[in-house]
Structure 1
Amino acid sequence: MIAYIFSLIVNFILEVINKGGYLGVFILMALESCNIPIPSEVVMPFSGFLVHQKIFSLVVLAVIGALGNLFGSLVSYFIAFKLKDGVKGFFEKSKFFYHDYIKAENFFNRFGEKSILIARVLPIVRTYISFPAGFFKVNLFKFSIYTFFGSLVWSYFLAYLGFYLGENWQILEGYLRRFDYLILIVIVGILCYYIFRKIKEIKSRS
C-alpha cells in the first residue's frame, strides 16, 4: 500500500516537471517546504536527469529549487509565527512543560540561525525547521538568507547527482530513503526518551 502511494506521488512529480518545467520544480519544492509529502529526493534528481538531457540548466535548476523551498518555508514560518502566542499560553499554564519550552526558546535565541542552515541539508528535519523558527521568531531576514543558501546546497547536490547518474537517477531515491529512515529513527528515539523522562518526572512529583 505504501509503495503504491509512493509510486503515485513519483508519477505526479514527473508529470508536473515534464509539463511545467522550471515552474513545476518551483511549485513542487515549495509544496515540500509547506510540509506536503513531495520528496525533493525525487524532484531534484529527476530534474538533474533533464539537465543531462539538455532540457534544464544545472545552476538555474538549483536556484529555482532553492527559491521554491524559500517560498514554502516562509509560509510555514508565518503560520508558526501567528500561532506562537496561543501555544505559548498553553505551555505557560503547564507546570511540566513550561521549563522545556523556555529551554527551547533560549536555544533558538542563541543558535536558531545556525541550526536553520544545518537543518536545510538534513532529510526530514529540513522540511520542519521553519515551524520552530517562526514560533520562536528568528529574524526573518536571516531566516530567509540561511534557508535560501542551505536549500541551494541541497538542491544543487541532488540535481548534480541526477545529472551524473543520467537514466539511472532513480537509484538515488532508495539510498536517500534509507538515510531518511535513519534520521526518523533518531528523532523517534529522542521523542521516546523525552516522553519517558517526563513520565518519570511526573511520577516523582506525585
Structure 2
Amino acid sequence: MSTQTELTGVAGWAVDVMERLGGPGAGLIIAAENLFPPLPSEVILPLAGFTASQGTFTVAGAIAWTTAGSVVGALLLYTLGAVFGRERFRKVWGMLPLVTLEDLDKTEAWFERHGTKAIFFGRMIPIFRSLISIPAGIERMPLPIFVGLTTAGSLIWNSLFVVAGYQLGENWHVVEQYADVFQKIVLVAVVLFVGWFVVSRVRRMQRDRAA
C-alpha cells in the first residue's frame, strides 16, 4: 500500500491488522471498539473501506465482518450486564451521589417501554452504542431480539462508513472530519443534560431538606 507509511497511531495500527488478518481483522477491531469506546469506529470503519479499496478484501466482506464484530462486542457487554445482575447493580447505584433508586426504577420502566428503539438507534450514537448493551443484559432482553436489533443497527451504521471509506479511497479521513463534528454535537448534548440533571437534583434535595 502506497500510503501505509503515512498512516500513524490508531489508523496505522488498524490498517496493519486488517492487512495481516483480512476481514476477520476488521471484525476483531470493531469488537474491541465496543469494549473500549476510545477506539473510534468513525475512524476504523472508513479505514476498513479504504483497505477494501486496496484489494485486501471486498467491500461486502468489510461490511459483513465489521457487523459481526459489532454483534460480538455487544454480546460480551450484554453478558456482563446479565452476570452482574440487577440487585448488585442497584446496590452500586444506591451508593452513588445525586441519584436515587427511584431514578433507577424510572430508567428500567423506560427501557421496558422503549428498549427495542434504544438498542436499534443506539448502535448509531458514539459511546452510547457500547453502554446500551449493559442494561439490555441486566433486564435480560430476549437474546434473539437483542441480536436482531444490534445486527440491523450496526449493519446500517457500518455500511455507511465502510462504503464512504471505500469510495473516498486515500481520502478516507474526510469521513472522520464529519463524524467528529457529529460526535461533538452528541457529547455537548450529553454534557448539557448531565448539567441540567445535577442542578435540578441539588435543588430538589435542598427543597426536601427545607421541608
- Tell me the TM-score normalised to structure 2 length: 0.87
Aligned length: 200
Equivalent residue for 1:149, pick from 149, 152, 164: 152
2:48 corresponds in structure 1 to 47
Counterpart AA for 2:13 = F
Alpha-carbon distance in structure 2 between the residues aligned to 1:107 and 1:72: 24
1:85 corresponds in structure 2 to 87
Contact 2:14 2:47 in 1 (8 A): no
Counterpart AA for 2:39 = I
Contact 2:18 2:51 in 1 (8 A): no
Alpha-carbon distance in structure 2 between the residues aligned to 1:42 and 1:20: 18
Contact 2:47 2:165 in 1 (8 A): yes
1:122 corresponds in structure 2 to 125
- Tell me the TM-score normalised to structure 1 length: 0.89
Deviation at 1:93, TM superposition (A): 7.9
Structure 1, residues 81-122: CA drift from partner, whole Å, max 9, x if none? 222321223446889511111110011111101211011122
Equivalent residue for 2:102, pick from 99, 102, 121: 99
Alpha-carbon distance in structure 1 between the residues aligned to 2:77 and 2:99: 27
Q: CA RMSD in A?
A: 1.9
Contact 1:96 1:202 in 2 (8 A): no
Counterpart AA for 2:148 = I
Alpha-carbon distance in structure 2 between the residues aligned to 1:142 and 1:92: 30
Deviation at 1:138, TM superposition (A): 2.0
Identity %: 27
Counterpart AA for 1:185 = V
Q: After the TM superposition, which residues 8-19 of structure 1 pair with which residues of structure 2 at under 5 Å, given as runs?
A: 8-19=9-20
1:28 corresponds in structure 2 to 29
SS in 2 for 1:157: helix
2:64 corresponds in structure 1 to 63
Structure 1, residues 52-99: CA drift from partner, whole Å, max 9, x if none? 223322222111111101111111111122223212234468895111
Contact 1:124 1:184 in 2 (8 A): no
Contact 2:37 2:127 in 1 (8 A): no
Alpha-carbon distance in structure 2 between the residues aligned to 1:28 and 1:98: 36
Contact 1:32 1:38 in 2 (8 A): yes
Counterpart AA for 2:194 = L
Deviation at 1:162, TM superposition (A): 0.6
Contact 1:121 1:150 in 2 (8 A): yes
Alpha-carbon distance in structure 2 between the residues aligned to 1:138 and 1:192: 30
